[in-house]
Amino acid sequence: MSRKIRVLIAKPGLDGHDRGAKVIARALRDAGFEVIYTGLRQTPEMIAEAALQEDVDVVGLSILSGAHMTLLPRVVEELRKRRLDDVLVIAGGIIPEEDVPALKAAGIWEVFGPGTSTEAIVRFICDHFGIGPEDLKTVGESIAL
Amino acid sequence: MPDLQALFESAREGDRRSLARLLSQLEEGGETAAQLSALLFPYTGNAHVIGITGPPGSGKSTLLNALTRAYRERGETVGIIAVDPSSPFTGGALLGDRIRMQDVAGDPGVFIRSMATRGSLGGLARAAREIIRALDAVGFQRIMVETVGAGQVEVDIAQAADTVIVIQAPGLGDEIQAIKAGILEIADILVVNKADREGAAATLHILQSMLSLSQPAVIRHHGQAMTIQGVKSSREGWTPPILQTVALSGRGVSELMEAIERHRAYLEESGEGEARRRRRIAEELAALARERLWARVVHQVGRARLDGLVDQLLRREIDLHTAVERLLE
């Protein structure tokens, strides 16, 4: 896969805690991803529309409001409406263990709780696309030397 | 090839997913991008391309958002390319311009694409121009390209635009930086944003005096009028206006739109627009040809011989010009 992997980091819902999302965005950038960060208070429609326009490979959702059971499946639904079925959707934030199976059934590939290392998230994305973390760090096109 | 044709047609019919994929292909470069570029080229040349540049924090994205809203009210469609730098160490990038474009992001008449600089400078300018052409070819009437004004990359990209807006804001303390980077010279329109803030008058004054450096000045010397020739402006017949805006409240945005229209009219009436388009496409042709010729040289000479020449250069056994002569033999 020579293509740069593009990741959308978004915060659905109304809570104003974007520190986690920013930490993840920064960590993914440092790992070599192209990260599009859209900020706070995003509706599922806004997130899906941004994912479409930016042609991202991954959508990362950060949610701490407790509304994950309604909002996260709706993001997946909006993505599917736009035929973005091949986008990897992952989530992080305050999400109780018992909610995880239902979220996975709804199309969220993985849920990362508090305390997850950013390396674990990078590894998960890399495994999904069948590449190693070193493959991410290709800096531009070489000048044939 | 038929796939690319179908992709392009679907994008032209307004399918946004096809357009997004097409832009990715163009950004990737290579053979597919070249084929796509050839497909869409005949449909280009209709959009008005506006470049917006300025230092971080000057309010580029917010102003762009306000302009987009105003163009949408007039029924025009808007394509936006927001460029942010890639890390030179990891190749990663954090693209955050969409944060300030929330209220136009969901509009079906607007398409926003974030772009990372991805290492090579020439490569970015080329990819950005391909993306501008693609948005043009699928029918967007206004295309706005936003870059951080800090150096040569931004100057290159801004020059892909018909009208270049350079934004400054009070309190950033980088008027001199802007001059050093050659940012002011490329401005067709200068904007002091955040004009409601303290220090706006000073920023305006500095820009005015900087700009007057490039105009002939008449002074009185021993009672006689003397004309001091300023630095020759590259654009005859157009003096960049300096406008004040408050992008957040929308103040000054309609004046900015008028200035953009005046500049657009000037481009057409003076022949400068035609001259710019000519210069631009000739430069692109030369850049592309250089790149292809180099690829051909590398292919014919072979990597081993190339490495050998580099070794000789490092040992100071030959000089650069001799090395080039040997490559071209």
B58 has pLDDT over 80: yes
Residues in CB range of A79: below 8 A, 6 or more apart: A48, A51, A59, A85, A87, A89
Whose tokens are 């305006």? That residue is B204
- Domain extent, residue A38, equals 6-136
In a domain, A108, yes or no: yes
- Give, rounded to a whole angstrom, the gap between the first and last alpha carbons of chain B: 37
- CATH value at residue A90: 3.40.50.280
The conformational region for residue B278 under phi > 0 = left, psi -120 to 50 = alpha, else beta, is: alpha
In a domain, A47, yes or no: yes
Q: Give mean pLDDT, residues B231-251.
A: 81
* A104 CA: distance to closest CA in chain B (Å): 25
In the structure encoding, which two tokens stand for residue B244, read together? 């004040």
Please tell me the total count of domains within chain A. 1
CA distance linking residue B131 with residue B133, whole number of Å: 5
B86 contacts A139? CB cut-off 8 A: yes
Question: What pLDDT, on a 0 to 100 scale, did the predictor assign at position B215?
Answer: 58
Nearest to A3 among B28, B102, B111 (CB): B28
CA distance linking residue B312 with residue B317, whole number of Å: 5
Model confidence at B105, pLDDT cuts 50, 70, 90, reads confident
* B169 CA: distance to closest CA in chain A (Å): 23
Q: Which of A40, A36, A29 is nearest to A64 (CA)?
A: A40
In the structure encoding, which two tokens stand for residue A71, read together? 């909002």
Question: What pLDDT, on a 0 to 100 scale, did the predictor assign at position B118?
Answer: 79
A7 φ, ψ to 5°? -125, 130
Nearest to B88 among A37, A52, A139 (CB): A139
Question: What pLDDT, on a 0 to 100 scale, did the predictor assign at position B278?
Answer: 92
B20 contacts A50? CB cut-off 8 A: no
CA distance linking residue B133 with residue B149, whole number of Å: 22
Q: Residue type at A36?
A: I
Profile chain A (145 residues) by mean pLDDT over runs of 10 residues: 83 87 94 93 94 97 91 97 96 93 96 92 95 75 40
In a domain, A110, yes or no: yes
Q: Residue type at A111?
A: V
* B106 CA: distance to closest CA in chain A (Å): 6
* B296 CA: distance to closest CA in chain A (Å): 11
* Mutation to test the B interface, candidates A22, A55, A56, most B Cβ within 10 Å: A55
Model confidence at B179, pLDDT cuts 50, 70, 90, reads low
Q: Which residues in A lie closer than 8 A to residue B292 (C-beta atoms)? A: none
In a domain, A55, yes or no: yes
A26 contacts B113? CB cut-off 8 A: no
B302 has pLDDT over 70: yes
Helix (H, G, I), strand (E, B) or coil at B191: strand
Q: What is the dihedral of CA B139, B142, B143, B144, to 10 degrees?
A: -160
Q: Residue type at B278?
A: R
Question: What pLDDT, on a 0 to 100 scale, did the predictor assign at position A144?
Answer: 37
B78 has pLDDT over 80: yes
A30 contacts B90? CB cut-off 8 A: yes
Model confidence at B181, pLDDT cuts 50, 70, 90, reads low
Question: What pLDDT, on a 0 to 100 scale, did the predictor assign at position B219?
Answer: 58
The conformational region for residue B182 under phi > 0 = left, psi -120 to 50 = alpha, else beta, is: left
Give helix then strand counts, H and E, for chain B. 13, 10
Report yes or no: B273 and B162 within 8 Å, Cβ to Cβ.
yes
The tens digit of pLDDT for each residue in B208-225 reads: 877 776 655 555 666 666
B167 has pLDDT over 70: yes
Task: Let me know if A15 is exposed, middle or buried by CB neighbors in 10 A (0-12, 13-18, 19+).
Answer: middle
Which residues of A sit within 8 Å Cβ distance of B? 2-4, 25-26, 28-39, 45-46, 49-50, 52-55, 82-84, 136-141, 143-145
Report yes or no: B173 and B149 within 8 Å, Cβ to Cβ.
no
